[in-house]
């Protein structure tokens, strides 16, 4: 789901969609750039595991609690003081 659609659907808590999109793009550069991918493979890194970890981190930063598409509980969000990006 594109970022703006996720925001509109209440899946992500983001104040500035353009800023969030730039941050997400930057966060994925190591997984898109052929030289960086080759470097990781040569060093024996588990790129699939790293990508999964990066996805989890980005989804948490966007205010999404899990992969399952469940919206965050507003009461829990208020209790934890999460305000989104």
The alpha carbon of residue 63 and the mean position of all alpha carbons in its chain are separated, in whole angstroms, by 9
CA dist 46 → 34, 40, 53, 59 (Å): 15, 8, 11, 20
Q: Which residue has tokens 């969609």?
A: 17
Q: How confident is the model over 64-73, as pLDDT tens digits? A: 755 554 344 4
Rounded distance between C-alpha atoms, residue 67 and residue 69, angstroms: 6
What is the pTM assigned to this prediction?
Answer: 0.62
- For residue 11, being part of any structural domain is answered with yes
Report yes or no on 85 lying in a domain: no
Q: Is residue 53 part of a domain?
A: yes
Q: How far apart are the first and last CA of the chain?
A: 18
Kindly report, residue by residue over 17-39, the tens digit of the pLDDT: 999 999 999 999 988 888 988 99
Range of the domain at 75: 3-80
Q: Tell me how many domains the chain contains.
A: 1
């Amino acid at each position: 789901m594109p970022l703006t659609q996720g925001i509109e659907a209440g899946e992500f808590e983001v104040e500035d969609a353009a800023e969030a999109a730039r941050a997400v793009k930057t966060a994925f550069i190591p997984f898109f750039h052929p030289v960086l991918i080759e470097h990781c493979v040569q060093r024996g890194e588990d790129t699939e595991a790293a990508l999964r970890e990066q996805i989890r981190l980005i989804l948490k930063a966007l205010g999404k609690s899990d992969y399952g598409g469940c919206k965050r509980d507003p009461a829990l969000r208020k209790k934890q003081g999460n305000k989104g990006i």
